[in-house]
């Protein structure tokens, strides 16, 4: 495996997102009030876009044309991925957590601090997004959201330690997964949409069967998990934990990525 470093941001890099169809491009969101688009073939930054605030979450639309970035002041900015100019901006009156388009690219979802999922729709021939629905999903802070690759469901994770599974078309909750005890901070569907991994400060990652809610496996970890991600083509799960005071070198943050499911 070839390893590269991508330097340029002047503050913490909080999130990274790959282009939905071009495997050479990814975008990063940083506290330095910029987002940067990178090309892995040159390891250089090909675009720097200045934004108004310190950025914490970022996502790319499925058609690759728009990048949405959210900052600490709960402003979401929509940036044209070709011209690198801002197309629209939305200031929200609540804590904005994770942001995502649906697979069809026609609706924009965000989870908020009041336990709701807010859904916005793109207005034809206009820059702005129009709020169309707010779903009371959880009694406490709704943290993360992920869409399954098949386009059938999406899942949300909350501070109430529950993961809820929603039907995309009906917008109703189909079932809940309740094996974690701590706020759910990360979710990932497997490539075939059959498995859902969820993780928190619990020292295990829950892997559930989507259609039944049954536990397929729990992956033991020694510390809280920050992020989980299934391989796009295989049943292989990558995850990263809070190894700050890890057994390797307690003087620095380790930043170890682990794999589960290798033969």
- Nearest-angstrom CA–CA distance, 188 and 186: 7
The domain ranges of the chain are 9-98, 137-262
Contact 120, 126 (CB under 8 A): no
CATH of domain 9-98: 2.40.10.480
pLDDT (0 to 100) of residue 29? 98
Q: Are 13 and 30 a contacting pair, CB within 8 Å? A: yes
CB 88 within 8 A of CB 129: yes
Position 131 scores a pLDDT of 92
- Pick from 254, 231, 116, 251: nearest CA to 240: 254
Strands (E), 127-214: 129-136, 142-147, 153-158, 163-167, 173-177, 186-189, 195-199, 204-209
For residue 246, the model assigns a pLDDT of 52
Q: Is residue 186 within 8 Å of 224, Cβ to Cβ?
A: no
pLDDT of residue 76: 96
- Are 9-98 and 137-262 in the same CATH fold? no
Q: Which segments of the chain have a pLDDT < 70? A: 1, 125-127, 244-254
Four-way CATH pick for 137-262: 2.160.10.10, 3.40.50.740, 2.40.50.660, 2.130.10.10: 2.130.10.10
């Amino acid at each position: 495996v070839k390893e590269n470093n991508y330097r340029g941001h002047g503050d913490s890099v909080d999130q990274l997102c790959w282009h939905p169809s071009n495997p050479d491009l990814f975008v990063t969101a940083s506290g330095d009030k910029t987002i940067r688009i990178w090309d892995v073939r040159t390891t250089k930054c090909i675009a720097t876009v200045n934004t108004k605030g310190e950025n914490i979450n970022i996502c790319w639309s499925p058609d690759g044309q728009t990048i949405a970035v959210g900052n600490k002041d709960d402003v979401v900015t929509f940036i044209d991925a070709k011209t690198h100019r801002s197309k629209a901006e939305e200031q929200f009156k609540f804590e904005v957590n994770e942001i995502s388009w649906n697979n069809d690219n026609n609706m924009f979802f965000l989870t908020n601090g009041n336990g709701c999922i807010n859904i916005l729709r793109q207005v034809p021939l206009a820059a702005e997004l129009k709020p169309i629905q707010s779903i009371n999903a959880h009694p406490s802070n709704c943290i993360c959201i992920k869409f399954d690759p098949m386009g059938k469901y999406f899942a949300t994770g909350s501070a109430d330690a529950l993961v809820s599974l929603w039907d995309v078309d009906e917008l109703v909750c189909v079932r809940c997964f309740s094996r974690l005890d701590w706020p759910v901070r990360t979710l990932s569907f497997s490539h075939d949409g059959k498995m859902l991994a969820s993780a928190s400060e619990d020292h295990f990652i829950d892997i559930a069967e989507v259609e039944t809610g049954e536990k397929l496996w729990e992956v033991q970890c020694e510390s809280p998990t920050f992020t989980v991600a299934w391989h796009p083509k295989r049943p292989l799960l990558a995850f990263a934990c809070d190894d700050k005071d890890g057994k390797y070198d307690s003087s620095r943050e380790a930043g170890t990525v682990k794999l589960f499911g290798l033969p």
